[in-house]
């Protein structure tokens, strides 16, 4: 049981966490902090929050668990404010999708609190933002990756693991660099492709007609281009090395397809598409 949960940054991820813990009866009180007072007031109205603080220090006072759910670029400043504010028994975790930069910020700013910080990343979400986007079932049967470092206390890991399991999540541990490499491929690169495609097509003279006749495939592929631009700007900057490598490799694949089209090479196209279909169906399933 978490007596008091403090959520710093009450958007989709933080609000869904609160609702999931309330549903399972695993939290007593939830306090929130964020830059948008209207969003916080809505959180109280919706039952996501019991209260919100005027400062991080006020919000985390007496909290058992502190969840930092802000863009990656804001992590360091939040950690600096937490250092002298949390109780001696509180555990701190985050939900950032790139971990090396978060761990670096924690080492720079948390000081003696570092052993009680458990880096984390729920592999769940939608393109929606704000407290109203949250829903209690977001984490059910979804993976949450924790990336503890050498200094991380085992009891803190246990408490964060239990919190996510109370939400119905499957919790796994990965090493920081490996997490960032894997997520660059499965999450960060797809977002870049969606943003790039929408940006390219919106620059065409007949872009209004293109989007008017967009079918399901286009909508599905580009849905994530509606995600928070600030968040994804920070992801690019924090996990740039892994992401640039994947972008270069993807460009090679596009060059292969372009060459086959230019040559009218039907067999080569069929080979490329067939291999991709077979690999996706075997690894992910036809869904």
44 Cβ neighbours under 8 A, 6+ residues apart: 50, 51, 52
* Domain match, 200 and 161 both: no
Q: What whole-number distance in Å separates Cα of residue 107 and Cα of residue 34?
A: 23
Dump pLDDT digits (tens) for 91-147: 999 999 999 999 999 999 999 999 999 999 999 988 888 999 999 999 999 999 999
Cβ atoms of 21 and 2 closer than 8 Å: yes
Pair (146, 162) in one structural domain: yes
> Whole-angstrom Cα distance, residue 266 to residue 271?
9
Domain of residue 75 covers 2-174
Q: How far apart are CA 246 and CA 165, in angstroms?
A: 32
Domain count, the chain: 2
CATH number of the structural domain spanning residue 227: 1.10.3660.10
Among residues 136, 152, 174, the one where a domain terminates is 174
Tokens representing 177?
A: 């660099």
Contact between 123 and 167 under an 8 Å Cβ cutoff? The reply is no
Alpha-helical segments (H) within 26-175: 37-46, 56-60, 75-82, 100-109, 154-166
Spell out the per-residue pLDDT of the chain, length 287, in tens: 899 999 999 999 999 999 999 999 999 999 999 999 999 999 999 999 999 999 999 999 999 999 999 999 999 999 999 999 999 899 999 999 999 999 999 999 999 999 999 999 999 988 888 999 999 999 999 999 999 999 999 999 999 999 999 999 999 999 999 999 999 999 999 999 999 999 998 888 777 787 887 778 888 889 899 988 999 999 999 999 999 999 999 999 999 999 999 999 999 999 999 999 999 898 876 55
The residue out of 155, 174, 193 marking a domain boundary is: 174
Residue 103: partners with Cβ closer than 8 Å, 6 or more residues away = 119, 147, 149, 176
CB 73 within 8 A of CB 97: no
Kindly state whether residues 193 and 148 are assigned to the same domain: no
């Amino acid at each position: 049981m978490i007596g008091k949960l403090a959520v710093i940054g009450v958007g989709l991820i933080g609000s869904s966490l609160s609702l999931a813990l309330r549903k399972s009866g695993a939290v007593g009180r939830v306090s929130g902090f964020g830059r948008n007072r209207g969003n916080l007031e809505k959180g109280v109205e919706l039952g996501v929050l019991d209260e919100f603080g005027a400062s991080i220090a006020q919000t985390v006072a007496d909290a058992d668990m502190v969840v930092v759910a802000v863009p990656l670029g804001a992590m360091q400043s939040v950690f600096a404010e937490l250092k002298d504010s949390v109780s001696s028994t509180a555990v701190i975790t985050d939900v950032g999708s790139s971990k090396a930069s978060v761990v670096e910020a924690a080492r720079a700013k948390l000081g003696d609190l570092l052993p009680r910080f458990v880096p984390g990343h729920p592999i769940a979400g939608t393109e929606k933002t704000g407290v109203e986007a949250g829903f209690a079932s977001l984490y059910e049967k979804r993976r949450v990756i924790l990336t503890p470092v050498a200094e991380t206390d085992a009891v803190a890991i246990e408490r964060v693991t239990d919190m996510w399991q109370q939400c119905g999540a499957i919790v796994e541990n990965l090493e920081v660099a490996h997490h960032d490499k894997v997520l660059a491929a499965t999450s960060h690169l797809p977002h870049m492709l969606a943003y790039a495609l929408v940006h390219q097509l919106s620059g065409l003279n007949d872009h209004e007609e293109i989007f008017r006749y967009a079918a399901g495939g286009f909508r599905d592929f580009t849905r994530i281009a509606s995600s928070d631009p600030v968040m994804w700007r920070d992801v690019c900057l924090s996990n740039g090395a892994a992401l640039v490598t994947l972008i270069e490799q993807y460009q090679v694949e596009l060059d292969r397809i372009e060459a086959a089209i230019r040559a009218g090479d039907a067999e080569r196209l069929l080979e490329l598409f067939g291999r991709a279909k077979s690999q996706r169906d075997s690894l992910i399933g036809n869904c």
